[in-house]
Chain A
Amino acid sequence: MRSGVRALFLAASLAMISSGCGESASPYYGTTKRTGKSVSTFYVNAGVEPEVIDPGRAAEAVGTMLAGHMFEGLATYDPVDAHPTQGVATAWDKSDDNRLFRFHLRKEALWSDGKTVTAHDFAFAWGRVLRPSLASRTAAVLYVLLNGELYQRGQLKVTKGSTGVVGAPADNAAPVTTVAAGAAVRILKTEGEYSQIALHRRLPTFDASRPPEPEEAKPAPLGWVPSSALEESPSVLGVRAVDDETLEIEAEHPTPYLLDLTCYSALSPMRRDVVEPLESAGKVDDLNRPENVVGNGAYRIVDWKFRYEIAMEKNPRYWRADKLKIDRIVWMMLEDYRSTLNLYKAGDLDYIGDNASIPPETMPFVETKKDFRRSYYLAVAFYSLNTKKPPLDDVRVRRALNLGLDKQQLVDRVTRSGQIPATHYVPDFTGSGYADVAKADKAAGTDPFSGPGMDFDPERARALLREAGYEIDKDGEDYKVRKFPPLEILYNTNEGNRAIAVAIQSFWRKHLGIQVAVRNEEWKVMLKNIQEGSFQIGRGGWIAEYNHPETWLDTFLSFSPQNQTGWGDPEFDRTMKEAAQTADPTESIRKFRVAEKIAVDAMVKIPLYFYTRNVLIKPWVRGFHPNPRNTHHAQWLWIDETGAAKEEPAMPPLDFAPPGPFAPKAAPPGEAP
């Protein structure tokens, strides 16, 4: 199989290169004339078949992209740099400690069936995403809501009625006390028909002057109640609709990136009267069928040919529908890059799509074309190190491995798509103010992530190994480390991953004298092994869920399920918390950089490079800008067949004014969100 794949790559690249040679004189890739197509129809490759397009469940790139066209959140990504701009919300307020937020919704936002989009639709949708029985894979983004995680994990419920608590999980056990109806309780464990509960006092206050009760690490058990006396209630969550146009959010912990999160498809509104009938009939999956989608986004799905094509049309009730210039989108599900490039070349595709990839071997030819666009992408590639096993339990060895890696060579010779060699985890172009701080630090010569000890330095790497107690012999041009325990790189089967692993293997052999084995496993097998800690060095990557350093740094928290390195540092955890609580945005980012430095010094993940995304877009498409999320919403795009029109989006994005203070507002009229 592997040699087959390799041959496939080879054959295809030969065909590509030879097809290129004949026309290398043309400054564009393929035809530059659009014929026989409507100027208001956009032909684009979606990538693969989406798994789920229900925004509350979509977790993968294609599903979230399509959901993002059919639904609109409180905010929406700007077409140029992907910062949050106005969506359903027109303004927002926040408390100084980034804990409370209030969004003001526009009155004119409508659903595709004509009803008004209200704050209740958001509160319902978010509660639904976190509902344990939905088992949404994307729910973790909503753990920012107070009690979100406990609620989704089924550990936080309310009593249905006034409930007697007994001393043991048995029918004849002695009563202990009585809990009033609607009380929030933690479920500590269950035995048979009974649940052991504790009172949960940490509930949303939606009041800046009154923080919720602190988190209890070990809640005191109150006693046992019949499990049937408890029910799920989203009233415990930190989100509520104050009225139709006001949504309030109370976060679990300070969340400086909350506005950015509201652009994400999982935080889209949904309609209770559309969702619940299907859900109660056990047909939640049917929400993915075009006839059941009621959206509030710019487009609505009209046809879905399985594994082939999805057609969307302008949603005439979208609040900016009159400004849209693309009336119809044809999403082709092209899984093969050759068919993508061929159809693009022939002019059947206007854009190869956010999820398409151009293989590195064709890059040297394609990247010289005028219709080629490269964006620096909010994602980092790394190798995770398992610190539980020697020799990687020694930080000096881990740092030596990092310094012995010529990352510049790696991106120039192996990955070849303009990636940026990484010395740390947060890309320097990250938003939320990170880019500005990084730039200022570099200008002042105080960047903690460049210079000696950070950049490629084999000399220093060997010194670290010696310090760790390994003797290094010089053998001609080569080095040899004595008695170094065996090491192995684990990667998921893929030609590109193999090339990287082999290059790294050779860097370490050449510069450090360490022999490393490489092993490939099929994707799901590798995931399992990494999650179970059966690895030494494992390939990984992390794409930003929101445009803020926390998205990467969170994965280093000692209690994060994404941290499989075995490393944890209370100092790091504390700094992260402090950073998030800091009101001043620049100061907050500086603290995140301090936390990042702690993680870099521990070097439990060797950063390799920051990703790029490389696409081809026909010269007749206007309003297209490479952006760090590589997300290109059709609402900003338009087609100019004359080629003379100015480069601007189809409609101007509307920026938010700076947030107002979170001043008290009247409580909602006794209604659960």
Chain B
Amino acid sequence: MIRYAARRLLAVVPTLWVVMTVLFFLLRAVPGGPFDAERVLPKEIEKAQLAYYNLDAPLFVQYKTWLANVVLRQDLGPSFRHAGRSVNEILRLSFPYSAQLGLLSAVLALAVGVPLGIQAARKHNTAGDHAAMGVAMIGVSVPRFVLAPLLVLVFSLKLFLLPAARWETWRHMVLPVICTGLPMAAYIARLARAGMLEVIRSDFIRTARAKGLSERKIILRHALKGALLPVVTFMGPGLSGLLIGSLVVERIFNIPGMGRYLVEAASNRDYNLVMGVVLVYGVLVMVLNAIVDIAYRYLDPRVALEEP
């Protein structure tokens, strides 16, 4: 078991290296540089600017320096856009906001999604099932950039119950968490329902029923574990997406998180920042996926961790 986990985590390293290397060269292949602006600068000044950040060195030298700094010193370099801020500092400052929002949203999504899905499966093909799945369908389809202004409109500007934006007290967190968590809750509800439907039709549940166990016991003791398998599978990439933050939600609610950098740093050609964000995202995705695989072992005795 420990050997498996160690191997899975070790496999992250070469994958990340390939991703980062490809990204490093791709980024620099895109036309336009970090300091291009409408006002054209004399070529000497442009050169001096590039030299300051070592961007005038041959590509491969830049790559070697970057890699050495990351591996040996855990230093992701300076941001080109935000003078005086290193990428490490930017990530350190912004990741906690995104993580806080992401975790709260994940808790909300699970707390709403799982019970809803299971109830729907139990009441399979009844009006309750259709209603729950209808709502979930809407939840999945309505994008956050529509949901967010609607929530603000109702709860902040009409009812004056919650602040319209910013991240200060728990009251500021309610709307962004709902906005981020609800679409995910809807998705989870659909997965949980499908999982539960599959499980309650299986033989061991029929056996349990035949033994005369209460429905409650059957669901919680025997069926739940199996029903959650699709949800757990989904939570790997799902949670990493939540933790890294959402561009839309962070913008609309003015949360100083990390989600914005995925798009923004790329269009600013802030190479180091792009690399840093992708690195964090990559680690999150791969580690969480490994954890999901390991969790399988506990949820489903049919899964063997050691490959043949």
Contact = CB atoms under 8 A, between A and B. Distances in A.
Contacts of B46: 135
Contact of B254 (A287, A334, A561): A334
A342 B36 CA distance: 33
A345 B254 contact: no
B124 to A, nearest CB: 35
A153 B152 contact: no
A285 B160 CA distance: 42
A11 B248 CA distance: 13
Interface string B228-263: 000000000000000000001001111010001000
B81 interface: yes
B78 interface: yes
B145 A8 contact: yes
A152 B153 CA distance: 52
B306 interface: no
A345 B52 contact: no
A209 interface: no
B45 A153 contact: yes
Contacts of B18: none
B220 interface: no
B19 to A, nearest CB: 22
Interface in A257-278: none
A306 B254 CA distance: 12
Contacts of B81: 51
Given A336-B251, A336-B254, A15 B149 contact: yes
B299 interface: no
Interface in A39-55: 49, 51-52, 54
Interface string A352-390: 000000000000000000000000000000000000000
A153 B42 CA distance: 7
Given A15-B153, A345-B157, A527 B36 contact: yes
A12 B248 CA distance: 12
Interface in B165-194: 165-167
A116 B45 CA distance: 33
B154 to A, nearest CB: 10
A152 B47 CA distance: 12
B156 A308 contact: no
A252 interface: no
Given A132-B45, A306-B93, A528 B31 contact: yes
Nearest to A339: B165
B32 A528 contact: yes
Contacts of B251: 335-336, 339
Contacts of A49: 82
Interface residues of A, number: 61
Greatest chain A CB density within 10 A among B83, B146, B167, B252 is at B83
Contacts of B115: none
A562 B39 CA distance: 6
Nearest to B150: A15
A140 B44 CA distance: 13
Contact of A54 (B39, B83, B150, B256): B83
Greatest chain A CB density within 10 A among B45, B89, B167, B267 is at B45
B84 interface: yes
A524 B32 contact: yes
B84 A286 contact: yes
B62 interface: no
A305 interface: yes
A54 B83 CA distance: 9
Nearest to A531: B40
A562 B40 CA distance: 6
Contact of B153 (A19, A153, A529): A19
B254 A339 contact: yes
A535 to B, nearest CB: 13
A345 B165 CA distance: 12
A112 to B, nearest CB: 19
A292 to B, nearest CB: 9
A57 B82 CA distance: 12
Contacts of B166: 308, 332, 339, 343, 348
Contacts of A540: 38
A342 B165 contact: yes
Interface in A319-336: 332-336
B46 to A, nearest CB: 8
A196 B80 CA distance: 34
Contacts of B33: 524
A535 B131 CA distance: 56
B69 to A, nearest CB: 16
B164 A154 contact: no
Contacts of B150: 15
B94 interface: yes
Given A132-B48, A339-B251, A524-B267, A346 B157 contact: yes
A288 interface: yes
Nearest to B90: A306
A139 interface: yes
Contacts of B153: 15, 18-19
A172 interface: no
Contacts of A115: none
B283 to A, nearest CB: 22
Contacts of A339: 164-166, 251-254
B3 interface: no
A189 B248 CA distance: 51
B263 to A, nearest CB: 9
B28 interface: no
Contact of A285 (B42, B84, B157): B84
B145 to A, nearest CB: 5
Interface in B24-40: 30-33, 35-40
A289 B82 CA distance: 11
Greatest chain B CB density within 10 A among A7, A8, A334, A562 is at A8
B11 interface: no
B45 A139 contact: yes
A349 B149 CA distance: 18
B52 A135 contact: yes
B41 interface: yes
Contacts of B302: none
A287 B158 CA distance: 44
A131 to B, nearest CB: 10
Contacts of B119: none
A338 B149 contact: yes
A342 B78 contact: no
Contacts of A136: 45
A458 B248 CA distance: 44
Greatest chain A CB density within 10 A among B78, B152, B164, B254 is at B254
Greatest chain B CB density within 10 A among A348, A524, A527 is at A524
Given A153-B42, A339-B253, A346-B163, A137 B149 contact: no
A574 interface: no
A348 B164 CA distance: 9
B100 interface: no
A59 interface: yes
A527 B256 contact: no
Contact of B149 (A12, A306, A333, A522): A12
A22 interface: yes
Greatest chain B CB density within 10 A among A286, A307, A336 is at A307
A153 B160 CA distance: 57
Contact of B37 (A52, A137, A305): A137
Contacts of A139: 45
A642 interface: no
Given A11-B146, A342-B157, A540-B38, 8 more contacts: A22-B158, A54-B83, A285-B84, A335-B260, A339-B253, A343-B166, A524-B269, A525-B32
23 contacts: A18-B153, A51-B81, A59-B37, A135-B46, A135-B52, A139-B45, A152-B42, A152-B44, A285-B85, A287-B84, A306-B85, A333-B254, A333-B256, A336-B254, A339-B164, A339-B166, A339-B253, A345-B164, A524-B269, A527-B36, A531-B40, A541-B38, A564-B40
The 8 closest A-B pairs by CB, nearest first: A524-B32, A285-B84, A15-B149, A342-B164, A135-B48, A339-B165, A307-B256, A561-B40
